[in-house]
Amino acid sequence: MNHIGSIGVLTSGGDSPGMNAAIRAVVRTCIFNGIPVFGIRRGYQGMIEGDIVPLKTTDVSGIIQRGGTMLKTARSKEFTTPEGMAKAYAQLQKHNIGALVLLGGDGTCRGAVKFFENHVIPAVAIPCTIDKDLVGTDLTIGFDTAVNTAVEAIDKIKDTAEAHDRVFVVEVMGRDAGYIALNSGIACGAEDTLIPEETTSMDSVLDRIAGDERRKKSVHIIVVAEGDELGGGKAVYEAIKERLPELDTRLCVLGHIQRGGSPTYADRVLASRLGYAAVTAILEGRTQTMAGVVNGEIVFTPLDKVVKGCTPIPRDMLDIIRVLSV
């Protein structure tokens, strides 16, 4: 433990519900083990600028139920340059930070891989992303909360759709991964769910809507991931308006509401487990790895494998959408 000096923790990229619970776990696990811990504010940009503060147990009191991140987050173009990385490393040395815990998603892990090519420092990442677009873990912090937020919103949209016999196109987050769309679509009984991982014919979507109209099925909910190849919710909405102008069609983009709010119990427990696991892993000598959960057990995956892989969508979930929407 003595050679580590202290541990720094940061949150980077898009925020996700449960980040605060993970920060709390990291800080208190460090303190329990007698390791000084520093919070690096505003992610990699804060590391470059030396926006680094010591943390004690009372600093993380009362945050486990809060969304967002007490450390703030940002994306940093400067960190992608050798000069920016050198500045960041100098700040770590200045504060005697001998190891890092990185909270974020794919971009955070990619930045870490590049950083460690030239600057050697032990580090463990914690998967915090509502998109669930990382390999090496069945779950990511924030995903459960984001899906529950989407489900609650779509349920309400469905109520008003039934009242007016409307077609609703609902866009959810997911630029490169369709897990939020897929899971919320199944949970809400959507008639169509469009995701980046699957090629969708707009003609087939229009045919199903027309078929529902003929069968007097008055509601048609289409859940679209923002990264769907058809162009997201707006493109789907415009295609329906053009080809089926007689229908009362509306578009609802849920947007950043999915990032906010109090994390669910599942995200709080996951964040607590992974925060504890990350610090413990550093003390055991692990480095350049990500802590995740597979089949309920804590596992570690090298960062270079995390950013190169892609978790496939289960085939049965894709089939369920079609079968249960008849």
Q: So what CATH class is 2-142+263-306?
A: alpha beta
Instruction: Count the alpha carbons within 13 Å of 60 in the hemisphere toward its beta carbon.
Output: 28
Residue spans of beta strands (DSSP E) within the chain = 6-11, 37-40, 52-55, 97-104, 123-127, 167-172, 192-194, 220-225, 249-253, 289-294, 297-302
* CA trace torsion 83, 88, 90, 91 (10° rounding): 150
Q: What is the Cα–Cα distance from 307 to 288, expressed in whole angstroms?
A: 12
202 touches 239 (CB < 8 A): yes
For range 53-60, the mean pLDDT: 97
pTM of the model: 0.92
Token output for 39:
């919070």
60 touches 28 (CB < 8 A): yes
User: Which class for 1: exposed (0-12), middle (13-18), buried (19 or more C-beta within 10 A)?
Assistant: exposed
Among 42, 51, 36, 44, CA closest to 2:
36
The DSSP line for 77-88 is SGGGSHHHHHHH
Range name among 79-88, 102-111, 121-130, 207-216 with the lowest pLDDT average: 207-216
Domains 2-142+263-306 and 144-259 share a fold: yes
What is the per-residue pLDDT across 250-304, written as a single tens digit (0 to 9) for each? 999 999 999 999 999 999 999 999 999 999 999 999 999 999 999 999 999 999 8
Q: What are the structural domain ranges in the chain?
A: 2-142+263-306, 144-259
Q: What is the Cα–Cα distance from 299 to 132, expressed in whole angstroms?
A: 16
What is the per-residue pLDDT across 72-106, written as a single tens digit (0 to 9) for each? 998 888 999 999 999 999 999 999 999 999 999 98
What is the per-residue pLDDT across 129-171, written as a single tens digit (0 to 9) for each? 999 988 999 999 999 999 999 999 999 999 988 888 889 999 9
With vertex at residue 171, the alpha carbon angle to CA 166 and CA 176, rounded to the nearest 5 degrees, is 150
Model confidence at 1, pLDDT cuts 50, 70, 90, reads very low
Q: Known catalytic residue: 131?
A: yes
Of residues 106, 131, 192, 212, which has the active-site annotation? 131
Q: What is the Cα–Cα distance from 208 to 189, expressed in whole angstroms?
A: 15
With vertex at residue 33, the alpha carbon angle to CA 15 and CA 294, rounded to the nearest 5 degrees, is 50
Helix, strand, coil shares, percent, the chain, to 5? 45, 20, 35
CATH number among 3.40.50.460, 2.40.160.40, 3.40.50.300, 3.40.50.2300, domain 144-259: 3.40.50.460
The DSSP line for 280-297 is HHHHTT--SEEEEEETTE
